[in-house]
Amino acid sequence: MQENVMSFVNISPLFIAIIIGFVVSFNENTSIRVPIIIVIISTIISFLLPIFNLKSWVTYPVVISESAVFVLVSMLLSQKMKKWLAWILGLIVGFVWAIVLLILLGVTFNI
């Protein structure tokens, strides 16, 4: 039972970030600056955590950054194409962004 709770706690930020990403991308009044600022701040935090010996917490800002990239890409692409296609491309770009960010963190800090 303890293991099931811990595995849910480890993946719950991803679900929360995806839900927030969908809600924000539905809102037409959201400024494009909001996801850009979130991507920048969460990326900086993800590089600062290993410096302070908090390597186990790196996943959370990376997930937030991934979701912000998803929102940013879907907001940009939804102006030129159908919204569902923009979401799919946004998810792909966000996933690739997270992998690249984790690779950079792993190479830089030997995580």
pLDDT in tens, the chain (111 residues): 445 544 555 556 666 666 766 676 666 677 788 888 888 998 999 999 888 888 888 888 888 888 888 888 888 887 888 888 888 888 889 889 989 998 998 888 877
| Integer Cα distance of 24 and 75 in angstroms | 9
Neighbours of 44 (CB within 10 A): 12
Query: What confidence score (pLDDT) does residue 44 get?
Result: 92
| Integer Cα distance of 86 and 65 in angstroms | 18
| Integer Cα distance of 77 and 86 in angstroms | 5
| Integer Cα distance of 39 and 2 in angstroms | 33
The pTM score is 0.76
| Integer Cα distance of 31 and 26 in angstroms | 12
